[in-house]
Structure formats: C-alpha cells, structure tokens
Amino acid sequence: MNQIIKHCFLSPLRHIPGPLLARLTSKWLILVDLAGHRTETIHRLHRSAVRIGPNEVSFANIESVKELYGQRTASIKAPVYETFSIPPLGIFSLRDPSQHGQRRKLLSHAFSQSNLNDTEPLIVLQMQKLGVKVGASVGRPFDVLAGFRMFSLDVVGELFLGKSFGALDRDEPPTYLEDVDKHFLLCGLDASFPWLYSALSRIPVPAVQHFFRARQRLLKVANSDSTEAQLSDLETYVEIGNLVFAGTDSTTLTYLFWELARNPSWQEKIQKELETVHGGGREEVLTYDCVVELPVLNAVVNESLRVHPAAPASLPRETPPGGRILNNCFIPENTVVSMQCYTTQHDPTIYTDPDIWDPERWLSPSVLSFEWKELFMPFSKGLQACPGRNLALMKLKLVTAFLVDRYKVAVAPETTAESMAMRDHFLVVLKGGECKLVFWPVRKP
Ligand code: HEM
C-alpha cells in the first residue's frame, strides 16, 4: 500500500501520463520487454513524455535529444547496460563516463577513416561470396536474412579478428548467430528474474542446457589473436564479442531488400542511377567512391533506417545529481530517462505518412529542416553514438548497389507483412525469423 501511495501520489513523476501498472511496478515493462514488444508498446502510448515505470520516463520531444544524447549531456548510461555483458564490462556496458571515454579512444582506430578505406576490399570479397549464394538461388526463394547475417559476420571477423568466420562458405548459418540472438533474451531474464533464470538453467534437459550456455559459447568465439595494447585478454574477448554482436546486425539490409521487392519502381530507379557511374562495363564491382553520394541510393538507405531502425527501442540513460528539467517537468536524479528512435522517426508532424516506406521524401527540401535532422537518429547521437556508423553505411550502400545492379527481386509467397513484423530484444528480430525473396538476373543491355 505504501508503494502504491508513493508511486502514484507522492512521486515527482506523478503528473506524467502512463499506464497504471507501469507506475506501480517495473515488472510491467520487463514483461513487455521479454515478449519483444517494447518499442511498439511505448510507441502506441507516446506523447512528448510517457511514464513507463515507477522510476522511468520515455520522451519524444525534440528538446530532449540534446539533453539525453547531446555531446555535453550529463546523463550516463542506465544501470541496465551492466546486465548486457559478463564482466569485465566492454564499451557497450561501461557506464562511468571517463572509463567509457577511454575505451572508446582505444577502439577508435578500428573505426578511423584510413581503416575504413582498407576495409573496402574485405567487404567486396565477402559481398562477392554473397553474390554467388544469391546467384545459385535464382528463381527460388532465398532467405536474405540468413544471407546478410552470414555476410556481416564474415566482414566483422575479417575486420576485427583478422580472419573470416567462413559463414558464407557453408550451406547453413553457423550456430554462433543463434547464440547472438539468445544472448539478449538471457541477459533480460537474468537481470529481471534471477530466480527464474537460476531455476530454468538447472533443468537437466539437453536443449535447455544448450540454450543457457549461449553466453559462454559467445565469449569463446572471440580469441585473443588480435589483442590490442592496454587491454587484457579477457577485455579483448569482451570487446570483440561486442563488435561481432553490434556488427552482425543485418535487419536493416533485410528490410531494405523486402521494401525494394515490394516497390519494383525503386529497383529501377537505383539501376538507372548506377548506369550513370558505370565506366568499365556492367560486370565491374562499383567502388564505394562511385556510390557513396548517389542521391537515390542514399534515399533508399536512409528511408530503410528511418522506417525499420535496427536498434529501435529506448536507449536508457540516468539523470545526473540534482536532476534535470525535461519536457518542462522536473525529473529527479537517478531517474531512468530515454527516447526511442522508432518513435521520433515516425513522428507524423515531421515525416508525413510516417509508416509508409517512401524514399522520395529524402529527395525533397524537407530533409534540410532542423527537426528532420534532429529526430532522425538510427545510430543515436553524442558521446555514446554508434562508432560503426560509417562502416554500416558502407556495407549497406555497397551491397545494395552490387545486388540491384545484377538482380531483380520479388517477395516469395511465404514472406508476409505478418512474418516481417518487428519484435525487439534491444535489436530488432523478425517475427517469422526469416525473409524469403526471389532474385532474377537483370537483362544486360
Ligand atoms: C545499421 C547498422 C547499425 C545501427 C543502426 C547501429 C546502431 C547503434 C546504436 C543506436 C547505438 C547506441 C546504443 C546505445 O546508446 O545504447 C550503437 C552503438 C554501438 N555500435 Fe552500432 N549500429 C550499427 C552497426 C554497427 C557496426 C557495423 C558496428 C561495428 C562493427 C557497430 C558498433 C557499435 C558499438 C561498439 C556500439 C557501442 C558504442 C558505445 O557504447 O560507445 N555498430 N549502434
């Protein structure tokens, strides 16, 4: 009873609207999270601010972007980040700003422009292997989600371990990818219901045991060959695990090709645009220099990142000592505050018909508005923003140009809006677990 009075009537957050259950107990959000419905549930509730827990508020107003994710923000990552990895903590989970800053500096060489330039031949090599797989499937349903995941895994292996995982050389995706999927589910269960985690993990059924050992298997995959100075072997394991995890995200490419398959006119627009940069015949692999600034390709990539962001959900932060005024409301210190890019990028006042995938909007002058730029944040912003942004854009543009230049693509009957529905466990997971599309060679002129 005391808790009810405290959370509903005495809390400084009591004026912020939100579901009654969410005000009373943090378990409401945890259950929504474990079901994979966080993003959509919060999105449906959204106004400029919504209370999503006794001590947690989600914002969607433009002023909060700077306050939470600006270069000078005083808010730090929320405690939940520590539950995302096994100690010692890596870049993704370090909350202390100075430790996090030092780790980012140490890893910055991996994402530098010169490293990125050296990266292109490695990406092209894996892309050609992907092309062989697509070519072998012509006229038959091909699971692009599995294909893109194997591609991304091999690129990250090449870049950060100095050797490919060889995923594209096999017929089936390696079990490592399944372990990546299980990892966040297990983290959530362990952090929120440790007693349930502990009880379930003791069930002596081989399938259950296999599921619970996913985290241990993930750590073993990273090996210390590429140890960087100033990081212990174990810290290196963790960082490489982080990079492999973050870099194996392929849902953006999957949604991009699904949308192209549903919108053949955009395939033609990209093909026409690529004609303008082809110099050495149609068989050549276009370089990143050739495609990086192409407006139609850029519009297709940005629109896919807007409608289907790979990390759509809240990026939780904790308010600093003394609290903060956010959305004209005093938010006390140690409150968990967040924004989700899915909601800001589907704001109907900025993006007309926000649920419709329409790259044309990126070719209009609206893209220059402050609000447009500020609310488009698929890679987040500020000190903890994605360091892999340029690498991700390079992969997205190179692969799209490579495949669309060679193939037409259509949706296979088994792929439906229902099977493509978004579920999220921090990163997006497709409800159907696959995305089958059919490719045909483009008739060469
Ligand atoms: C479409 C592709 C990608 C998207 C949409 C994306 C998005 C994001 C977002 C939103 C964050 C911030 C998470 C937070 O604040 O909690 C993040 C962090 C991060 N991303 Fe990415 N990412 C992508 C690809 C990559 C790639 C290819 C790599 C590297 C191989 C990478 C490495 C990282 C790392 C290391 C962090 C943690 C940064 C930190 O905490 O300082 N990401 N990413």
Q: Specify which residues 57 forms β-bridges with.
A: 51, 337
Q: What is the mean pLDDT of residues 209-219?
A: 60
Whether 413 maps to a domain, the answer reads yes
Whether 219 maps to a domain, the answer reads no
Q: Which of 148-152, 168-172, 237-241, 344-348 has the highest mean pLDDT?
A: 344-348
Q: 221: pLDDT confidence band, cut at 50, 70 and 90?
A: low
Q: 2: pLDDT confidence band, cut at 50, 70 and 90?
A: confident
Q: 222: pLDDT confidence band, cut at 50, 70 and 90?
A: very low
pLDDT score at 10:
79
Q: How many domains does the chain have?
A: 1
> Is ligand 1 within 6 A of the CB of residue 255?
no
Q: Are 342 and 309 in contact (CB under 8 A)?
A: yes
Better pLDDT: 138 or 197: 138
| Nearest atom within ligand 1 for CA of residue 107 | 35
Q: 11: pLDDT confidence band, cut at 50, 70 and 90?
A: confident
Better pLDDT: 249 or 71: 71
Q: 129: pLDDT confidence band, cut at 50, 70 and 90?
A: very high
Residue 88 clears pLDDT 80, i.e. is over it: no
| Nearest atom within ligand 1 for CA of residue 385 | 12
> Is ligand 1 within 6 A of the CB of residue 247?
yes
pLDDT tens profile 346-395 = 999 999 999 999 999 999 998 889 999 999 999 999 999 999 899 999 99
Residue of 386, 389, 399, 400 with the most ligand 1 atoms within 8 Å of its CB, for mutation: 386
Model-level pTM? 0.88
pLDDT score at 223:
45
> Is ligand 1 within 6 A of the CB of residue 246?
yes
Distance 416 CA to ligand 1 centre (A): 28
Whether 399 maps to a domain, the answer reads yes
> Is ligand 1 within 6 A of the CB of residue 386?
yes
> Is ligand 1 within 6 A of the CB of residue 315?
yes
Residue 231 clears pLDDT 70, i.e. is over it: no
> Is ligand 1 within 6 A of the CB of residue 378?
yes
Q: 28: pLDDT confidence band, cut at 50, 70 and 90?
A: very high
Better pLDDT: 180 or 41: 41
Whether 374 maps to a domain, the answer reads yes
Q: 107: pLDDT confidence band, cut at 50, 70 and 90?
A: confident
Distance 42 CA to ligand 1 centre (A): 22
Residue 241 clears pLDDT 90, i.e. is over it: no
pLDDT score at 229:
40
pLDDT score at 258:
98
Distance 276 CA to ligand 1 centre (A): 33
Q: What is the mean pLDDT of residues 44-48?
A: 89
Distance 246 CA to ligand 1 centre (A): 6
Whether 130 maps to a domain, the answer reads yes
From CA 445, how far away is CA 443, in angstroms rounded? Answer: 6
Tokens of 105: 């500096």
Q: 224: pLDDT confidence band, cut at 50, 70 and 90?
A: very low
Domain containing residue 443: CATH number: 1.10.630.10
> Is ligand 1 within 6 A of the CB of residue 311?
yes
> Is ligand 1 within 6 A of the CB of residue 301?
no
Closest residue by CA, ligand 1 atom 17: 386
Distance 25 CA to ligand 1 centre (A): 30
Lowest mean pLDDT among 198-207, 212-221, 243-252, 414-423: 212-221
Distance 152 CA to ligand 1 centre (A): 14
Residue 225 clears pLDDT 60, i.e. is over it: no
pLDDT tens profile 310-320 = 999 999 999 99
> Is ligand 1 within 6 A of the CB of residue 382?
no
**Structural domain for 275, as ranges:** 123-142+249-309+345-445
| Nearest atom within ligand 1 for CA of residue 377 | 10
Residue 215 clears pLDDT 80, i.e. is over it: no
Closest residue by CA, ligand 1 atom 10: 379
Residue 433 clears pLDDT 50, i.e. is over it: yes
Residue 210 clears pLDDT 90, i.e. is over it: no
pLDDT, mean over the chain: 86
Whether 37 maps to a domain, the answer reads no
> Is ligand 1 within 6 A of the CB of residue 53?
no
Closest residue by CA, ligand 1 atom 42: 388
pLDDT score at 70:
92
Residue 49 clears pLDDT 90, i.e. is over it: yes
Give the percent of the chain with pLDDT over 90: 58
Whether 79 maps to a domain, the answer reads no
> Is ligand 1 within 6 A of the CB of residue 379?
yes
Distance 378 CA to ligand 1 centre (A): 9
Distance 12 CA to ligand 1 centre (A): 33
pLDDT score at 106:
84
Whether 135 maps to a domain, the answer reads yes
> Is ligand 1 within 6 A of the CB of residue 78?
no
Lowest mean pLDDT among 37-51, 111-125, 279-293: 279-293
Lowest mean pLDDT among 26-35, 220-229, 259-268, 290-299: 220-229
| Nearest atom within ligand 1 for CA of residue 159 | 30
Better pLDDT: 181 or 149: 149
> Is ligand 1 within 6 A of the CB of residue 32?
no
